[in-house]
Chain A
């Protein structure tokens, strides 16, 4: 197929079409509007359907309806719109319906701005809606990686009967890079025996619901969900490491920030600081392994985020007190520079005070 120069939001859309997604229900919001517009043009020619909903609430509930028929379906939004989808996401989790939800996050809280941010980390990884549930969250750092992760997102969704979130930021959505799509769309569809499509001679009527009025049996449903989440934790954590074998200091960053951090780590190594990078690719489940592998010899970890400090909590839990964890973040749409991250890394390596946001 060869390389194509595309915008991040368009890559997400095209990758979803390649992964067999035929239905998209969306609502415009910057910085993900290109995704919606791309789908409006692309899905009809791919034999699918695009529908602009009247709100994010309606869009996620259309996804719920479509997901119940067993098709691959998605929606996308950015932070304020993503907040509105939380009710529907909780219902998807409760009724165990597979779907893909994209959040191209922007500065908050409130209306915030349209610049890139990672301040929806808590919302996407800690449940977000009501009830005991978790959603697998994938965080690509490059446009090429989006293509792989979207395919995996739909497969994870089907395999575990769960909604899956792809979390990016405005920078990832807006940047242009050369990407290559696989020649043959790799669509591994799972047989779904639980769908509501009209019985049509296929046994007794089926019901899709998250309601269970009996306490004991709702607890059993919850235990079933928790077993599923445990299995996702066990099998689906993904990460990438760089220079971690001999490193003393570890920068932890995901998504676009990890790309900037790579250069800071390289510069620090040139200057004689043994630095490494841990890049979580799944934010839930948060990858424990790279911390288990390094925390007993690490001299320190530095979490870098475009937030006031959210992922850093998971880093602390994973390090579990065995080494110092410091934090550097910029908020409101300000992107941390390579120099800033380098400086923080040197401070971390010097064991000195980190910064006013640190611990």
Chain B
């Protein structure tokens, strides 16, 4: 019998704790498949952040370190500077990276740290119960913006991919989305490109992945995917914001 579908060896055989319809699990799988396909699982150290993905160290089948809230890029810097021939990646949410950890993220990029950041943008703080994130959309209702985010009161959403692309140390910056199959395929290509960038020693790479949070958005899984398409894509346009030279044009 021909095997048409297999679990990736990049993930441990552990059920995840993510809510039904949450795209964190899909993004894990994409990262894991890339590590497996590049045959670098044994040479990789991942850094888990604080957010719903805090337990990602129980899922990724490689050495993992858990970092304080927002500090994953600094922790990754420490690892990579000691072990420049290993692959080092962080997996961070938008509260973690774009709010409390924006300094660490910007400076890791500015230094051109040869690491890869998987940045999961779900426009909300998932783990703490649906509070406003720096990426929350104008008008979006959250536990801490009950009347909807108001630009006059809370400012405008931060566009991380655009911001990071302004830094000279950033080699590859791309925004992708996990809301449908064609985009998931593109997302995997982008993640692969980021790790190839790291392999070639070209410097900092960050892949922003638009992701769902049905639980805190108060939507069904299908409605959530639709919500990404309708509401997030116009504010967070997909595309390559900085293109590293590996493997030609993305």
Are A197 and B103 touching (Cβ within 8 A)? Answer: no
Q: Does A250 contact B (CB under 8 A)?
A: no
Q: Does A196 contact B (CB under 8 A)?
A: yes
Which residues 194-242 of B have a CB within 8 angstroms of A? none
Q: Does A37 contact B (CB under 8 A)?
A: no
Which residues 17-62 of B have a CB within 8 angstroms of A? 41-45, 47-48, 54-55, 57-58, 60-62
Question: Measured between alpha carbons, how far is A205 from B65 in the docked complex, in Å?
Answer: 11
Are B67 and A61 touching (Cβ within 8 A)? Answer: yes
9 smallest CB-CB distances across A and B, nearest first, come from A65-B78, A61-B74, A209-B66, A62-B78, A196-B63, A65-B75, A66-B78, A61-B71, A54-B107
Q: Does B81 contact A (CB under 8 A)?
A: yes
Interface string of A180-217 (1 = CB under 8 A from B): 00000000000000001111110001111111010000
Which residues 45-99 of B have a CB within 8 angstroms of A? 45, 47-48, 54-55, 57-58, 60-68, 71, 74-83, 86-87
Which residues 21-68 of A have a CB within 8 angstroms of B? 23, 25, 49, 51, 53-55, 57-59, 61-68
Are B62 and A57 touching (Cβ within 8 A)? Answer: no
Q: Does A273 contact B (CB under 8 A)?
A: no
In which size bucket is the chain A interface? 35 or more
* Closest CB in chain A relative to B141 CB, distance in Å: 29
Contacts of A201 in B (CB 8 A): 42
Are A198 and B42 touching (Cβ within 8 A)? Answer: yes
Are A61 and B66 touching (Cβ within 8 A)? Answer: no
Which residues 1-39 of A have a CB within 8 angstroms of B? 23, 25
Number of residues from B at the complex interface, CB < 8 A = 37
Q: Does A91 contact B (CB under 8 A)?
A: yes
Q: Does A288 contact B (CB under 8 A)?
A: no
* Closest CB in chain A relative to B17 CB, distance in Å: 9
Are B66 and A95 touching (Cβ within 8 A)? Answer: yes
Contacts of A87 in B (CB 8 A): 68
Question: Measured between alpha carbons, how far is A208 from B75 in the docked complex, in Å?
Answer: 12
Are B71 and A198 touching (Cβ within 8 A)? Answer: no
Q: Does B104 contact A (CB under 8 A)?
A: yes
Question: Measured between alpha carbons, how far is A59 from B73 in the docked complex, in Å?
Answer: 11
Question: Measured between alpha carbons, how far is A209 from B55 in the docked complex, in Å?
Answer: 10
Are A62 and B83 touching (Cβ within 8 A)? Answer: no
Interface string of A89-124 (1 = CB under 8 A from B): 001000100000000000000000000000000000
Residue of A63, A65, A198, A208 with highest tally of chain B CB at under 10 A: A65
Instruction: Give me 8 other A-B pairs in contact (C-beta within 8 A), A23-B82, A68-B45, A208-B66 excluded.
Output: A51-B81, A58-B107, A61-B78, A65-B82, A196-B45, A201-B42, A207-B66, A209-B65
Contacts of A68 in B (CB 8 A): 45, 65, 75, 78-79
Contacts of B103 in A (CB 8 A): 54-55, 57-58
Question: Measured between alpha carbons, how far is A210 from B57 in the docked complex, in Å?
Answer: 12
Q: Does A88 contact B (CB under 8 A)?
A: yes
* Closest CB in chain B relative to A272 CB, distance in Å: 57
Name B79's closest neighbour in chain A (CB-CB). A65
Are B78 and A64 touching (Cβ within 8 A)? Answer: yes
Are A205 and B74 touching (Cβ within 8 A)? Answer: no
Are B104 and A69 touching (Cβ within 8 A)? Answer: no
* Closest CB in chain B relative to A3 CB, distance in Å: 34
Q: Does A308 contact B (CB under 8 A)?
A: no
Q: Does A71 contact B (CB under 8 A)?
A: yes
Question: Measured between alpha carbons, how far is A207 from B67 in the docked complex, in Å?
Answer: 11
A199 with B81, Cβ < 8 A, contacts A58-B74, A65-B47, A211-B54 known: no
A205 with B107, Cβ < 8 A, contacts A62-B75, A65-B74, A88-B68 known: no
Q: List 12 A-B contacts (CB under 8 A).
A: A49-B82, A62-B78, A68-B65, A91-B68, A199-B41, A199-B42, A205-B60, A205-B61, A207-B57, A207-B66, A209-B64, A211-B54
Contacts of B79 in A (CB 8 A): 65-66, 68-69, 196
Name B86's closest neighbour in chain A (CB-CB). A198
Interface string of A69-95 (1 = CB under 8 A from B): 101010000000000000110010001
